[in-house]
Amino acid sequence: MITIPASLLRRVYDHTEASYPYECCGLMIGAIGENKEVHAFRTCKNLNTERAHDRYDMDPLDMLRVEREFENSPWDIIGIYHSHPDHPSRPSQTDTDRAWPAYSYVIISVQKGTVATAQSWVLNEGERKFYEEPLITGDSK
Amino acid sequence: MSSVTVKIPTPLRPLTSGQAEVKVEGATVGEILQKLDAQFRGFGDRILDDGKNVKRFVNVFVNEDNIRDKEDLDTEVKAGDTISILPSIAGGL
Ligand SMILES: [Zn+2]
């Protein structure tokens, strides 16, 4: 299960809508565990400019910066979000092929420029398969 | 010998008993990763190809520098350096 405060999720949606028709990505920071809680997010650069409409490749320097920013906090990078322009919020084969265990992968479907659905997925590494986890929109603190 | 701090990303922490960072001594990145592999069973398999190169979908930084832009596993480290192991994050439709 992953809980994202409504106000944060809205800002993530803003990022995905502003990036439409291209894919965008970012990192979610929060408390690790069975029940993840997102406390912050950071937008990251999609380095795949040639196929930005259907691929993302997160800039590793952005990830490094986020890791450093939160290294002395009680939080960690707990997941990744990315958008699917005009496609459902289900993981693609590419998503599965490149997925890492433990992280939550929040996929946001943006239809004609407006967020339609969002779902969160976690990789089962043994099966190399994504399973959906409940995405709870919490109250803003 | 230089003691450096190695940052472990969330997906690899089951291998380090949950530790987010580990202090290791060594002169090069390669030496440090070998020591981590000796200390934590299965660690090397996750980040190294045949023990010689960093896997394609893993990034290793010494402070702010990607070792691919330096001397890869031969990149030297000095006391107080921070090595970050970061999964490469990608996907699409
Ligand atoms: Zn995707």
A25–B89 CB contact, under 8 Å = yes
Q: From its phi and psi, is residue A102 left (phi > 0), alpha (psi between -120 and 50) or beta?
A: left
φ and ψ at residue A67, rounded to 5 degrees: -60, -45
Q: Give the model's pLDDT for residue A33.
A: 82
| Domain coverage including residue B80 | 2-87
Q: From its phi and psi, is residue B80 left (phi > 0), alpha (psi between -120 and 50) or beta?
A: left
Which of B11, B14, B64 lies nearest to residue A103, judging by beta carbons?
B11
Q: Give the model's pLDDT for residue B25.
A: 96
The pair of three-digit structure tokens given for residue B78, joined into one six-digit string: 């000095």
Please name the residue of chain B whose CA is at the shortest distance from the CA of residue A68.
Answer: B84
A64–B91 CB contact, under 8 Å = no
What are the C-alpha distances in Å from B25 to residues B34, B35, B36, B78? Answer: 11, 8, 10, 9
| Residue B8 is assigned to a structural domain of this protein | yes
Domains of chain A in start order, with CATH, are 2-138 (3.40.140.10)
Q: Give the model's pLDDT for residue B2.
A: 79
Residues ≥6 apart with Cβ < 8 Å to B82: B4, B5, B6, B7, B62, B63
pTM: 0.95
d(CA B37, CA B32): 9
Closest CA to A23 of A75, A94, A121: A94
Interface of B with A (CB under 8 A): 7, 9-11, 13-14, 20, 57, 59, 61, 64, 66, 84, 86-93
| Residue B61 is assigned to a structural domain of this protein | yes
pLDDT band, very low/low/confident/very high, at B1 (cuts 50, 70, 90): low
Which DSSP symbol is given to B64? T
Q: Give the model's pLDDT for residue B50.
A: 80
| Residue B58 is assigned to a structural domain of this protein | yes
Span from the CA of A98 to the centroid of ligand 1 (angstroms): 10
Number of folded domains that form chain B: 1
Q: Is A67 helix (H, G, I), strand (E, B) or coil?
A: helix
| Residue B93 is assigned to a structural domain of this protein | no
Residues B64-87 have a mean pLDDT of 97
Print pLDDT tens along chain A (141 aa): 999 999 999 999 999 999 999 999 999 999 988 899 999 999 999 999 999 999 999 999 999 999 999 999 999 999 999 999 999 999 999 999 999 999 999 999 999 999 999 999 999 999 999 999 999 998 755
The pair of three-digit structure tokens given for residue B63, joined into one six-digit string: 């402070």
| Residue B45 is assigned to a structural domain of this protein | yes
| Residue B63 is assigned to a structural domain of this protein | yes
Q: From its phi and psi, is residue A105 left (phi > 0), alpha (psi between -120 and 50) or beta?
A: beta
Residues ≥6 apart with Cβ < 8 Å to A54: A23, A85, B92, B93
Cα–chain-centroid distance for residue A115? 14
User: Are B77 and B32 contacting, i.e. CB atoms less than 8 angstroms apart?
Assistant: yes
Cα–chain-centroid distance for residue A122? 11
ipTM greater than 0.90: yes
Which DSSP symbol is given to B67? G
| Residue B60 is assigned to a structural domain of this protein | yes
Residues B70-88 have a mean pLDDT of 97
Which DSSP symbol is given to A141? -
CATH number, position B23? 3.10.20.30
| Residue B56 is assigned to a structural domain of this protein | yes
Which of B10, B59, B66 lies nearest to residue A77, judging by beta carbons?
B10
d(CA A58, CA A65): 12
A67–B7 CB contact, under 8 Å = yes
